[in-house]
A and B are shown apart, each in its own frame.
Chain A
Amino acid sequence: MRPAYTHGVYTVSISRGIMNRMPPDPANAIFVARGLTKIYRMGEVAVHALRGIDLILNRGELVVLLGPSGSGKSTLLNILGGLDAPSGGEVRYLDHMLTGASEAELTRFRREHVGFVFQFYNLIPSLTARENVAAVTEISKSPMRPEDALALVGLGSRLDHFPAQLSGGEQQRVAIARAVAKNPAVLLCDEPTGALDSATGVVVLEVLEKVNRELGTLTVLITHNAGIADMADRVIRLSDGRIAEIHANTAKKRASELSW
């Protein structure tokens, strides 16, 4: 057991045992979304990306957002991550209202509380693995050492490699290390294995699982790959901008057991 999540307001220790049993509980909620809608204007066509989402995401959960393309999962993730604003409804992060926050407030929110993992890694090519992580830790309040974050994802020996010298899976693990190094409350991963073959994808998922387990970071993972859903605490299935089904995994699989 270790103090895992350090936040400006309070510090909590969470054991894995508690987490597994944890139901959707408003007292433990990190994100509370009510009646979220999002309408994009694409020229003369209005695209309803979200049509009313009510959702609570709790501390320490590993949640998989599942759905076909166009189901609204990325839009939801972007709104949760403070990259996009809903057209209607509201989102609350702990006691902060994200809806209606200014650009500067959203930037600070992302900087202090959110770790992002992208489908295409989005590493800075001119920085080494260590420096990619350092780029984020340099602007964080109480980060890990970049070396520790890279050790956590199993890249302790490739600290001084540039992205061009790393494989796709390794690049994605650097991206995860970069996302978690600031000790975020939430890790948002958009198709993290989308650009990887399945063997490499499993290695990346094992790292995400480890981070979720050891640091207790709420991890939200977008995929259209149903095979990945088995490693989640909860699976939220989106369809046509609505939540079609929320399913709590009773028998959660280890990432290493997955294949697709």
Chain B
Amino acid sequence: MKALDRKLLRDLWHLRGQVLAIAAVIMGGVATMVMSLSTYDSLTTTRDRFYGEYRFAEVFVSLKRAPEPVAERLAALPGVERLETRVRAGVKLEVAGFTDPITGLLLSLPDQGEPLLNALHLRRGRMVQPWSTDEVVLSDTFADAHRFQPGDTLAAIINGKRKQLTVVGVAVSPEYVYQIAPGAMFPDFKRYGVLWMGRNALAAAYDMEGAFNQVSLTLARGAHEQDVIDRVDAVLGAYGGTGAYGRKTQFSNRFLSEELKQLQTTATVFPAIFLGVAAFLLNVVLSRLIALQRDQIAILKAFGYSYAAIGAHYVKLVLLMAVLGVVAGVALGAWFGQGLSNVYMETTFRFPYLDYRLDAGVILIALGISAFAAVSGTLFSVARAVRLPPAEGMRPEMPETYRATLVERIGLQRWFSAPTRMILRHIERRPLKSFLTVLGIACACGLMMVGNYQKGAIDFMVDVQFRQAAREDLALAFIEPTSGRALHELAALPGVDFVEGFRDVPAILRFRHYQHRAALFGIQPEGRLHRSLDSSLQPVAVPPGGVVLTDHLADKILHVKPGDMLTVEVLEGRRPVLQVPVLGITKQFLGVSAYMQQESLNALMREGSTVSGAYLAVQPGSEAELYAKLHERPRVLGMVANKAAIQSFYATIGEFILFYNLVATLLAGAIGFGVVYNSARIALSERGRELASLRVLGFTQGEIAYILLGELALLTLAAIPVGFVVGVGLVGILVVAFQNELYRLPLLLTPENYAMGAAVVIVSALLSALLLWFRLGRLDLVAVLKTRE
């Protein structure tokens, strides 16, 4: 080993505390990046493999009913590769011992052979026997939630007829990686399930013999998706087709894509912060180290070491710190990544397997970015050290120039003791460094706030959604649009306080070249249960004669303003194409909607008072009885109980929130401690002699600690409000980056978020202060009498 390399290792050992603190910050950045990217890679690979192996379709369409020969016409359309028809039925389910309403989706499986598309991956049990009449395969989420085993039974109300079913298998499907009931806001594994049964049996129960009401297809190589969709719609229009759509719109896939997009954002934004802070820390530490070693550098140069050799020496030092951080970061990130992937697998996405991948590319990216941040952060100090002429380098540095600070110059100096003046002048002497230190600490505060932001945001979204907008206890859908008189029957049921009808009509909304598939939602203008909210989240009446759109739908998807005329292609009944004015914008965090007055919608549809479902306010305590009564009604297709939905949602996301809080606390702690401890150690190395001199002059350890830690305390306190701003900014980035049609996050931070942000900074500072206190106790008082710096 060369002498210079030996010096490198000793310097590293000598600086070990700071090296660890810097490596911890780099580790934080690398860990977030590796966690996000490896989870992203894993989920993407798993998804692609699952979609491929289980033949996930590319275009989907539901219709009212078409005779089987129509399938041949569809299959013959140009651009269609493989096509399969199915029967799908919305059903009510009965599970022994569970009184809440359960809705289900029953899908047909071919009676002969494997499904051509959307095949099932069997987890347990077996597939249904050909031509069996009562066998079903359950989606694993639903089966797990109710602990169904092959051989258990449950009942389904299919088309108003009760049918006993036997569970023979539990499976996952590429179509339902993410499962959510239609109209629900969150997944609820207990109250919504997907079931598969033989085509013949289902068709018999659902009056679909010789016919189908759902089509899936894949595209031929080179076929244009929209062309195929248009051709399919042209054929199925006559059979009540509700508009074909591609994978991009398929709900499960769309949700999965959004989640993956978020992971990518996480993989960019957060590592950038960490590595920026690490670059700053390396710069500070290295410029100090070089200042302390200027005589050594001068001697090396006097010996004839080249600039390049000396420069390379310090670059190596920095790279070793970076590599340490990267190695730890990759390990931690892989661990976090596996944890996160598992949380996803358990709570959100159902894949048959998970290919956890840690790509060598990810590691190389992490290494490259960290090395770049580290070297670019220190290049200036290294260059300055190398440029110093040897003779000058061997002379001690001049005493540093100070001046009275601004606060003193304006006449406040008599209020400050000499130690306080030292603190103020030291901070003011290097304003940029002080500012960057404050900014670094502030980042820790901000990161902590982001990590804890979700819980408050979700509480708020749930509150707005369920206590302001959708205040019904129970939403129920009828099998078909029904006369408004049905509402009176519902109102007469025991336990029902109030009933409000709604009409929803599937439609494609178009403005210029923008379009969106949605339902036109006819609600009561001044509804008590389901309401539209204005931008300040106050309920506002929907005006007659036009639509009110969710802000995201209007601004980001359709690009319309109030006053514009929207083209509405209704996908039901006569399928009219209508011109409807946009009358207003409504604020909504979950989903997107197009609201109208129910009467206006009925008028557009040229129908009498017609409803497709109803919102109910239910007297507490009478739910079970009411559910049972509703369950018996053949025209009631499905029910969603809000309270249960919220509870199950919280149970699901609880694990996520815990995981993110843990990660955020660890990482924010690493950055906070890294910055505070390094700043303090640098301050100690710069001022150790000064402080030891004061100790000799009779200052107590507490008094010199005041000088050193006072500066730290001042910077830390200044960093907290800055950190709040950083936190709000980072949350702002998240809010903008994560907005999609499924949900938009509110820019809302709770007092708890602020408190957590401040707490991580204060705890890091106290910990650093404690470590520094012990160092101050070990100051060498004798050495300062003899040495010059």
Residue-wise interface mask of B (380-410) relative to A, using a CB-CB cutoff of 8 A (1 in contact, 0 not): 0000000000000000001111111000000
A126: which of B422, B693, B782 is its contact (CB, 8 Å)? B422
Residue of B nearest to A171 (CB): B399
Whether A125 contacts B690 by the Cβ 8 Å rule is yes
Residues of A within 8 A of B689 (CB): 122
Whether A124 contacts B694 by the Cβ 8 Å rule is yes
Does B429 count as interface, using CB distance less than 8 angstroms? yes
Count chain B residues whose beta carbon lies closer than 8 angstroms to a beta carbon of A: 34
Does A53 count as interface, using CB distance less than 8 angstroms? no
A162 to chain B, nearest CB (A): 5
Does B697 count as interface, using CB distance less than 8 angstroms? yes
Residue of A nearest to B396 (CB): A120
Does A164 count as interface, using CB distance less than 8 angstroms? yes
B714 to chain A, nearest CB (A): 14
Does B488 count as interface, using CB distance less than 8 angstroms? no
Residues 654-698 (chain B) with a chain A CB within 8 angstroms? 689-690, 693-698
Residue of A nearest to B416 (CB): A131
Give the bracket for the number of chain A residues in contact with chain B.
35 or more
Whether B696 contacts A83 by the Cβ 8 Å rule is yes
Most buried by A among B404, B429, B693, B700: B693
Does B617 count as interface, using CB distance less than 8 angstroms? no
Residues of A within 8 A of B429 (CB): 126
Residues 752-789 (chain B) with a chain A CB within 8 angstroms? 781-782, 784-788
B421: which of A84, A107, A118, A131 is its contact (CB, 8 Å)? A131
Q: Given known contacts A122-B689, A162-B401, is B696 in contact with A127 (CB within 8 Å)? A: no
A192 to chain B, nearest CB (A): 11
Q: Given known contacts A119-B785, A120-B787, A122-B784, is B697 in contact with A110 (CB within 8 Å)? A: yes
B780 to chain A, nearest CB (A): 10
Whether A81 contacts B697 by the Cβ 8 Å rule is no
Whether B699 contacts A111 by the Cβ 8 Å rule is yes
B782 to chain A, nearest CB (A): 5
Whether B400 contacts A134 by the Cβ 8 Å rule is no
Whether B694 contacts A135 by the Cβ 8 Å rule is yes
Whether B418 contacts A135 by the Cβ 8 Å rule is yes
Does A112 count as interface, using CB distance less than 8 angstroms? yes
Whether A118 contacts B785 by the Cβ 8 Å rule is yes
CA distance A118 to B697 in the complex (A): 11
Residues of B within 8 A of A138 (CB): 417-418
Does A200 count as interface, using CB distance less than 8 angstroms? no
Does A216 count as interface, using CB distance less than 8 angstroms? no
Residue of A nearest to B405 (CB): A126
Whether A136 contacts B697 by the Cβ 8 Å rule is yes
Whether A114 contacts B698 by the Cβ 8 Å rule is yes
Residue of B nearest to A81 (CB): B696
B430 to chain A, nearest CB (A): 11
Residue-wise interface mask of A (115-156) relative to B, using a CB-CB cutoff of 8 A (1 in contact, 0 not): 010111011111110011011101100000000000000000
Q: Given known contacts A125-B690, A126-B429, A127-B421, is B400 in contact with A164 (CB within 8 Å)? A: yes
Whether B785 contacts A124 by the Cβ 8 Å rule is no
Whether B782 contacts A84 by the Cβ 8 Å rule is yes
Does A190 count as interface, using CB distance less than 8 angstroms? yes
CA distance A104 to B777 in the complex (A): 11
Interface of B is mostly: helix
Residues 159-213 (chain A) with a chain B CB within 8 angstroms? 162-164, 178-179, 182, 190, 195
Residues of A within 8 A of B699 (CB): 107, 111, 139
B147 to chain A, nearest CB (A): 68
Residue-wise interface mask of A (55-90) relative to B, using a CB-CB cutoff of 8 A (1 in contact, 0 not): 000000000000000000010001001011000000
CA distance A232 to B313 in the complex (A): 52
Whether A116 contacts B697 by the Cβ 8 Å rule is yes
Residues of B within 8 A of A134 (CB): 418
Residue of B nearest to A122 (CB): B693
CA distance A63 to B655 in the complex (A): 76
Residues of A within 8 A of B696 (CB): 81, 83, 110, 116, 118, 122
Residue of A nearest to B692 (CB): A122
Residue-wise interface mask of B (191-225) relative to A, using a CB-CB cutoff of 8 A (1 in contact, 0 not): 00000000000000000000000000000000000
Whether A162 contacts B403 by the Cβ 8 Å rule is yes
Residue of B nearest to A111 (CB): B698
A56 to chain B, nearest CB (A): 24
CA distance A103 to B149 in the complex (A): 74
A127 to chain B, nearest CB (A): 6
Residues of B within 8 A of A190 (CB): 785-786
Residues of B within 8 A of A104 (CB): 700
Does B703 count as interface, using CB distance less than 8 angstroms? yes
Does B426 count as interface, using CB distance less than 8 angstroms? yes
Residues of A within 8 A of B701 (CB): 107
Residues of B within 8 A of A110 (CB): 696-698
Residues of B within 8 A of A179 (CB): 697
Residues of A within 8 A of B151 (CB): none
Most buried by B among A83, A135, A195: A135
Does B494 count as interface, using CB distance less than 8 angstroms? no
Whether A139 contacts B698 by the Cβ 8 Å rule is yes
Does B419 count as interface, using CB distance less than 8 angstroms? yes
B402: which of A74, A119, A126, A135 is its contact (CB, 8 Å)? A126
Most buried by A among B418, B422, B694: B418
B137 to chain A, nearest CB (A): 77
CA distance A196 to B403 in the complex (A): 26
Does B510 count as interface, using CB distance less than 8 angstroms? no
Q: Given known contacts A110-B697, A118-B693, A136-B697, is B401 in contact with A124 (CB within 8 Å)? A: no
B537 to chain A, nearest CB (A): 54
Q: Given known contacts A74-B785, A118-B785, A136-B698, is B418 in contact with A162 (CB within 8 Å)? A: no
Does B92 count as interface, using CB distance less than 8 angstroms? no
Residues of B within 8 A of A108 (CB): 698
Residues of B within 8 A of A182 (CB): 698
Residues of B within 8 A of A114 (CB): 698
CA distance A114 to B781 in the complex (A): 15
CA distance A126 to B418 in the complex (A): 9
Residues of A within 8 A of B400 (CB): 125-126, 164
A137 to chain B, nearest CB (A): 9
Residue of B nearest to A162 (CB): B402
CA distance A122 to B785 in the complex (A): 8
Whether B782 contacts A78 by the Cβ 8 Å rule is yes
Q: Given known contacts A124-B694, A164-B399, is B418 in contact with A131 (CB within 8 Å)? A: yes
Residues of B within 8 A of A112 (CB): 698
Does B86 count as interface, using CB distance less than 8 angstroms? no
Q: Given known contacts A119-B785, A135-B419, is B426 in contact with A126 (CB within 8 Å)? A: yes
Most buried by B among A119, A120, A124: A124
B553 to chain A, nearest CB (A): 61
A79 to chain B, nearest CB (A): 10
B557 to chain A, nearest CB (A): 60
A209 to chain B, nearest CB (A): 22
Residues of B within 8 A of A125 (CB): 399-402, 690
Residues of B within 8 A of A74 (CB): 782, 785-786
Residue of B nearest to A110 (CB): B698
Residues of A within 8 A of B418 (CB): 124, 127, 131-132, 134-135, 138
A69 to chain B, nearest CB (A): 10
Residues of B within 8 A of A119 (CB): 785-786
Does B357 count as interface, using CB distance less than 8 angstroms? no
Does B425 count as interface, using CB distance less than 8 angstroms? yes
CA distance A132 to B422 in the complex (A): 10
Residue contacts A-B, CB under 8 angstroms, 25 given: A81-B696, A83-B781, A83-B782, A107-B700, A110-B697, A111-B697, A111-B699, A112-B698, A114-B698, A118-B785, A120-B787, A120-B788, A122-B784, A123-B399, A124-B422, A125-B400, A126-B422, A127-B425, A128-B404, A135-B697, A136-B698, A138-B417, A139-B699, A164-B402, A178-B697
CB-based closest 4 A-B pairs: A111-B698, A135-B418, A122-B693, A110-B698
Question: Footprint of A on B, CB under 8 Å?
Answer: 398-404, 417-419, 421-422, 425-426, 429, 689-690, 693-701, 703, 781-782, 784-788
9 more CB-based (< 8 A) A-B contacts, given A74-B782, A107-B695: A107-B699, A124-B422, A125-B401, A126-B400, A127-B421, A131-B421, A162-B401, A162-B402, A179-B697
